Amino acid sequence: MLRSTTNIVGSSTASAARRVGGRRNLSTARRTTTNLLACTMTAGSRRSPPRASSSLPSLSTVEGRSFHTSRVWQSKKRETFKLADIGEGITECEVIKWSIQPGSRIEAFEPLCEVQSDKASVEITSPFDGIVKEILVPEGDIAKVGAGLCIIEVDGAAHPSSSSESDSKTPAEAVAENAEAAHAAKNEKAVPTEAPSKRGVHPLDPSNTTPRRLEDLRLGKHPSKGVFGSKKDESPSTSGFAPSAGSANVLAPPSIRHLAKLQGVDLAQLAPGSGKEGRIEMSDFEAYLARGAAPQAEVKEVSVQEPEPEIVVEMGRTRHNMYKAMVKSLEIPHFGYSTTLDITELHTMLPTLNAHIPAKYLPPSVAEQRQPLAIRHGMVNPNAILTPTSQPLPESMHYTKLTYLPVLLKTLSKAMMEWPLLRSTLASNPSSTKPSLAIRPSADIALALSTPTGLYTPTLSAVQQSSVYTLAATLKHLSFLGRQVPCALSPKEMPRRGGTLTVSNVGAVGHGETASPVLVPGGGVAIVALGRAKWVWDVNRRAEGERRLVLPVSWSADHRVVEGAELAAFVECWRGYVEDPVRMVAEGV
């Protein structure tokens, strides 16, 4: 058996010697064979004896492949799934419905839950494969952005510590492979590898710096290198001077151009020369060098100022409520109507109204000056029979001059009393699935009031029962309360049911002619934006041109309740009171 093994090893030695490279590496192959023989004898001592019936010499069975296994560990980790930012500035959402329960198995991209923001509902899916262990936000609760929604036990991936199978070669195969590898490495070192040739540069390629102008070709700068596949000039430029584009248009002989390139002189600074047609001569070049080159203009770096960072300001409670109300306003279909009102007669009537403001609405100093002379000097006492016991009004309700707004509110209330539809609100009917209209007996008008803390809508109740003077005092008092920080408006000025019609006096701050006011749920069935009055030329009934004071108004109505024709007819009814205010006197106002 040993003889047979020796023969095999000997043949392996010769084969290895031939592979390694002849007599030179024969000693290396023999040393490898000696080690192989030792390994073979060790393996033969451990094998079982051969069968006695076999007459042929048999080799010991050497195990040609061994297997190495390692245990694969499955790791499981609990992940807290958080509510991500869904955009549009949403900071919180309400969890409407969970699609899974604790203990349920869930796959990636399967629905977890459905959340409702102020704008829309969003279905959230799972990013993991695993088992839901705990729900952190029950249905109906509010979840903050970045807070956890649930806990998922995620299935971990397999992480083998080593390869599952490693191939071990027999010693003879190892010797052969090592010899072949050494021979291949030697051959690789002996054979030089040729560097891949670069592709030629096209003459029109911007990266091609070879002269392409006809004048340069005439001066001897032929594109002998770097064009049409020829090799580039590998010698680097020694001067580093790049002539300007203007120097190529200067008339100069090749010798001067060569000297200018060596000296780093821009020929455009020498032009025109003293030669024919401005040609630069050698004397021009020498004179230029003698007096020194003109100093180059210093290029200053312009520092770019970094933009100031944004300032993030959190919405206040009032502005946030306005934000949510405007989102809900998308549920209401709006119908718009714009027109102008002639308030010339009303403007003529204002001086008379201002001259007769009741004394209780005037500041004490002004009220005393406006009393008749006999009363002022005590000759006559109007309160001789009965002294009034009314409490004096607060200073915030005193004024000295009327504006158009109280008169417009009064005329608007007269039109509302003729149109019950504009005194109605939508109401739910428990006995029916259809909504109902609740018609109020009085003209309740809400006023859009801009304050330092946000937009408020205090309500003027039963406007048809108030005089123009009382309305003016109430408006001044509401404006005073709204300017306080924090806002001093109370539920008394802002009842829960609000008004059936809203007025926004945007003309007090702007010069716009049309607007698109927005209705919110619970804000009545219509809203009007009053613009700024202006004088225009118009033709009267006698076909004569005259200046008239007109007021632009823009309406929006809830088209679920008010028809377009009804809104237009109501505005025309209001026009009758505004353009002919004497009607209010006849009706006992």
Where along the chain do its domains lie? Answer: 1-40, 76-155, 214-221+248-278, 331-377+392-586
Residue 178: predicted pLDDT = 52
Q: Ramachandran region of residue 260, left (φ > 0), alpha (ψ -120 to 50) or beta?
A: alpha
298's tokens = 């210093």
Sequence letter at residue 408: L
User: Residue with structure tokens 């008379």?
Assistant: 352
9 alpha-carbon distance from chain centroid: 77
**E strand or H helix that includes residue 150:** strand 148-158
> What is the DSSP-derived secondary structure letter of residue 432?
-
130's tokens = 């695993």
- Contacts of residue 222, defined as CB under 8 A and 6 or more positions apart, other chains included, come to none
Residue 400: predicted pLDDT = 92
Determine contact, residues 553/340, Cβ cutoff 8 Å. Answer: yes
Distances (CA, A) of 209 to 205, 212, 226, 244: 9, 9, 9, 13
> What CATH topology corresponds to 76-155?
OB fold (Dihydrolipoamide Acetyltransferase, E2P) (2.40.50)
Longest Cα separation, the chain: 162
The rounded distance, in Å, linking the Cα atoms of 513 and 274 is: 73
Using 50 as the pLDDT threshold, list the residues of the chain that sit under it: 1-30, 32-73, 157-172, 174-176, 184-206, 210-240
Residue 509 CB-half CA count within 13 A: 6
Residue 115: predicted pLDDT = 87
* Bridge partners, residue 148, by sequence: 82
* Bridge partners, residue 95, by sequence: 115
- Cα–Cα nearest to 456, from 416, 489, 408: 489
For 7-19, the pLDDT digits (tens) are 444 444 444 444 4
- Contacts of residue 83, defined as CB under 8 A and 6 or more positions apart, other chains included, come to 93, 115, 124, 143, 144, 145, 146, 147, 148, 149
260's tokens = 């200018």
For 176-206, the pLDDT digits (tens) are 455 555 554 444 444 444 444 444 444 444 4
Residue 470: predicted pLDDT = 95
- Cα–Cα nearest to 38, from 4, 6, 15: 6
- Cα–Cα nearest to 532, from 515, 556, 557: 515
Give me the helix-helix angle, 26-46 and 171-190, nearest 10°: 160
For 64-92, the pLDDT digits (tens) are 444 444 444 455 788 899 888 877 677 88
Residue 491: predicted pLDDT = 87
Give me the helix-helix angle, 564-579 and 344-355, nearest 10°: 50
SS (H, E, C) 22-62: HHHHHHHHHHHHHHHHHHHHHHHHHCCCCCCCCCCCCCCCC
Sequence letter at residue 240: G
CATH code linked to domain 331-377+392-586: 3.30.559.10
Residue 576: predicted pLDDT = 95
SS3 189: helix
Residue 298: predicted pLDDT = 60
Q: Residue 486: is the preceding peptide bond cis (ω within 30°)?
A: yes
The rounded distance, in Å, linking the Cα atoms of 248 and 212 is: 11
Q: Given this chain, do its domains 76-155 and 331-377+392-586 carry the same CATH topology?
A: no
